[in-house]
Amino acid sequence: MKKILLGTTIFAGLMAAGAAQAADMPLKAQRGPIYSDWTGFYIGIHGGYGWSDVDVNDDLRPFSEPNPKGWIFGGQAGYLRQWGTVVGGLEIDYSAAGLKETQTIKTETLTGKIDSLFSARARLGWLWTPNLLAYGTAGLGWGHSKVSFCDPGCDTSTDSSFGWVAGAGLEYQFNYNWRLRAEYLHYDFGTVTHLGVDANVRVDVVRGALSYKF
């Protein structure tokens, strides 16, 4: 009986010591989605390609309707707020642009350019995964254009036009502070007048962007 009691006492002591040691060990951190926080301010850069659709309300013969196209490059800044899997916010952006087309017939030359684009837009999207946001966007658009006609002396006209812009994109948060996106935007500036000629001007842009979240 004494041996049994002694053995039981030793076993209980060992169990108590093991429990105390286990209690003193730090708990292993539980891993979960670590890039799911989309709330905050951000800034970034973007670049891509743009093309225009110009419908002239007059006869330009012997020229055809100019449709400038080319590169764009600029920056963006904004703020996003997250509600579960829904993310919304505001963004402004400016792009220097190299959209250009030149037509030459005999001694006459017609050149159309779009050299600047700006937008102020709302964004609203849904998280497919904690790191991937699909969104739509719409708001106010602005563009600066220039038309020159030479024969051989040149007449030049510039115009700053306001309109609307809308589009959609995918944005991936690959680090707590860094995001990549692919985006399409459509600008509509309505009627623009150059050298006494009216035209309806629209611009489409595809671009990639890199942003840093604070």
175-191 residue pLDDT tens: 889 999 999 999 999 99
Strand (E) or helix (H) holding 192? strand 178-194
Is position 51 within any domain?
yes
- For the chain, how many structural domains are there in total? 1
Higher pLDDT, 105 or 120: 120
pLDDT above 50 (res 81): yes
Q: What length does the chain have?
A: 214
Is position 35 within any domain?
no
Query: pLDDT band for position 152 (50/70/90)?
Result: confident
In the chain, what percentage of residues exceed pLDDT 70? Answer: 84
pLDDT score at 34? 52
Q: How many CB atoms lie within 10 A of CB 176?
A: 10
Query: pLDDT band for position 105 (50/70/90)?
Result: confident
pLDDT above 50 (res 95): yes
Domain of 104, CATH number, reads: 2.40.160.20
pLDDT (tens digit per residue) in 26-49:
444 445 555 579 999 999 999 999
Lowest-confidence pick of 35-39, 69-73, 154-158: 35-39
Query: pLDDT band for position 154 (50/70/90)?
Result: confident
Q: How far apart are CA 104 and CA 66, in angstroms?
A: 12
Q: How far apart are CA 48 and CA 97, in angstroms?
A: 10
pLDDT above 60 (res 57): yes
**Three-state secondary structure call for residue 153:** coil
Is position 58 within any domain?
yes
Is position 93 within any domain?
yes
Asked if the bond preceding 68 is cis, omega within 30° of 0, the reply is no
- Cβ pair 203, 114 in contact under 8 A: yes
Six-digit token pair at 69? 């196209």
Mean pLDDT of the chain: 85
pLDDT score at 31? 53
Is position 102 within any domain?
yes
Query: pLDDT band for position 197 (50/70/90)?
Result: confident
Is position 7 within any domain?
no
pLDDT score at 28? 44
CA angle in degrees (0–180, nearest 5) for 46-51-52? 125
- Cβ pair 76, 92 in contact under 8 A: yes
- Show the domain range for 143: 40-213
CA dihedral 35, 41, 43, 47 (to 10 degrees): 70
Is position 30 within any domain?
no
